[in-house]
Amino acid sequence: METTMELTRDNIQQVVELSNQQLVALVFWAAQMPESKTLLQTMEQLAAAFPGQLQLASVNCETQLELASYFQIRSLPTTLLLSQGQPIDGFAGVQSREQIQAMLQKHLPAAWELKLNDAKALLQQGDATAALPLLKDAYAEEATAAVALPYAEACLTSGDLAMAKTLLATIKLADQDGYYSSLMSQLDLAEKAADTPEIRALQQALEASPADVEVLQKLATALHLAHRDEEALALLFTPLSHDLNIGDGAVKQQLLTLLSALGQGNALAGQYRRKLYSLLY
**Which pLDDT tens digit goes with each residue over 43-72?**
999 999 888 889 999 999 999 999 989 899
Q: What is the 3-state secondary structure (H, E, C) of 248-260?
A: HHHHHHHHHHHHH
Query: Is 90 exceeded by the pLDDT of residue 262?
Result: no
pLDDT at 235: 95
Query: Is 80 exceeded by the pLDDT of residue 8?
Result: yes
CATH for the stretch 111-194: 1.25.40.10
Q: Which pLDDT tens digit goes with each residue over 76-133?
A: 999 999 999 999 999 999 999 999 999 998 999 888 998 999 999 999 999 999 999 9
Q: Which pLDDT tens digit goes with each residue over 157-190?
A: 988 888 999 999 999 999 999 999 999 999 998 8
Q: Domain 4-105 falls in which CATH fold?
A: Glutaredoxin (3.40.30)
pLDDT at 2: 60
Q: Mean pLDDT score of the chain, rounded to an integer?
A: 91
Whole-number Å distance between alpha carbons of 209 and 139:
42
Window from 45-54, 261-270, 271-280 with minimum mean pLDDT: 261-270
Let me know: does 173 contact 184? Beta carbons within 8 Å: no
Backbone angles phi, psi at 88, to 5 degrees: -120, -15
Beta-strand (E) ranges in the chain?
Answer: 4-6, 23-29, 54-60, 78-83, 86-92
CA distances from 168 to 83, 162, 228, 245 (A): 32, 10, 17, 38
Q: Which pLDDT tens digit goes with each residue over 100-111?
A: 999 998 999 888
Q: Helix, strand, coil shares of the chain as percentages rounded to 5?
A: 65, 10, 25
Categorize the per-residue pLDDT at 25 as very low, low, confident or very high, splitting at 50, 70 and 90: very high
Give just the sign of the alpha carbon dihedral 270, 272, 276, 279.
positive
Categorize the per-residue pLDDT at 281 as very low, low, confident or very high, splitting at 50, 70 and 90: confident
The domain ranges of the chain are 4-105, 111-194, 197-280
4-105 and 111-194 in the same fold: no
- Domain 197-280: which CATH number of 1.25.40.10, 3.90.420.10, 1.10.645.10, 3.40.50.720: 1.25.40.10
